[in-house]
Amino acid sequence: MAMTRTRARLGMNRGGRGAARHAESSNTPSPFDDRTMDANWRAFRENRDEALRNYFVEKFLHLVRYNAERLYARLPDEVDIEDLMSAGLFGLMDAIYYFDPDHLVNGRPVKFETYSATRIRGAILDELRSMDWVPRLVRQRSSKVEAARQQIQMREGRKATDQEISDHLGVDDEEFEKLTRDSSAVGVTSITRRCFPSDGSRELREIDVIKDDHQSDPVIDTQRKDLRDLITKGLTRAERLIVILYYYESMTMKEIGATLDLSESRVSQMHSSIVARLKAQMQHRMRELEPED
């Protein structure tokens, strides 16, 4: 609520994301440069001058980028650093509005850089929490289970069992099952995020490497065709059809007989003869079919 009230006073809202995207520290001289920072802070505390507020924003904008980049280094690629800077900018403006140059800690004045860091990071973390679809309670339970698992693995030098984790957390089987279920929540990721860097100029994305079970592998198709041609080589037309229809089209002996105008027993007899000949042929060519080292 405090941040909302401050944005209203400062005339800003979430629609102003472009502020962080385009705001850069300006080297243009300002009339406020002629006064000390202490005098500027006291003047702003008295009249809340908008021009003076903008001066502070430009002067301390580098703090927003610094804190945003530190948090961004530990986040997934789909998080946009510009979004973090936009949120951090609101934290900076809150810090400017509430900063009291006369406030002392242990008898010493607090620097604005120190005071604003907490506000900026807090605003960025609030933005990240709003982007997270998983409730905070679930995240906390997941962290507890993972922390217990790592402690046991470091102590025992092996993978932790469920019973060991349950005993470490001090929960019964029913509660541990609930914790495990929550910690295994399905994650959401972007299919356009970077998968891993490639040797070329174009980066590979998740969508580029997702397996499509509905598409056939051209390499496997070629191997199957070569094997079929090898097996059926030297067979008559009827024998070749029996092999193809039975092993590749999954037809029954009765269906093959109806297709070739033969009885089921005749098809079965021909199939047995073909298999015997092919076994002898394959045994003779086993060394040729062995994979190369």
Q: Residue 90's CB: how many other CB atoms inside 10 A?
A: 27
User: pLDDT tens per residue, the chain (293 residues)?
Assistant: 344 444 444 444 444 444 444 445 556 677 788 888 888 898 998 998 999 999 999 999 999 999 999 998 888 777 888 999 999 999 999 999 999 888 777 778 888 999 999 999 999 998 888 876 666 667 777 778 888 888 888 888 888 888 888 888 888 888 888 777 766 655 566 666 666 665 656 667 766 666 666 777 788 888 888 877 777 777 888 888 888 888 878 899 999 999 888 899 999 999 999 888 888 877 776 766 666 65
Domain 218-289 has CATH 1.25.40.10: no
For residues 121 and 116, give the distance between their C-alpha atoms in angstroms, rounded to a whole number.
9
The phi, psi pair for 108, rounded to 5°, reads -125, 145
The pLDDT value given to residue 38: 86
How high is the pLDDT of residue 6? 41
What φ, ψ does residue 185 adopt, rounded to 5°?
-60, 140
* Domain locations in the chain as residue ranges: 2-131, 136-209, 218-289
- This prediction has a pTM of 0.48
Look up the CATH number of domain 2-131.
1.10.1740.10
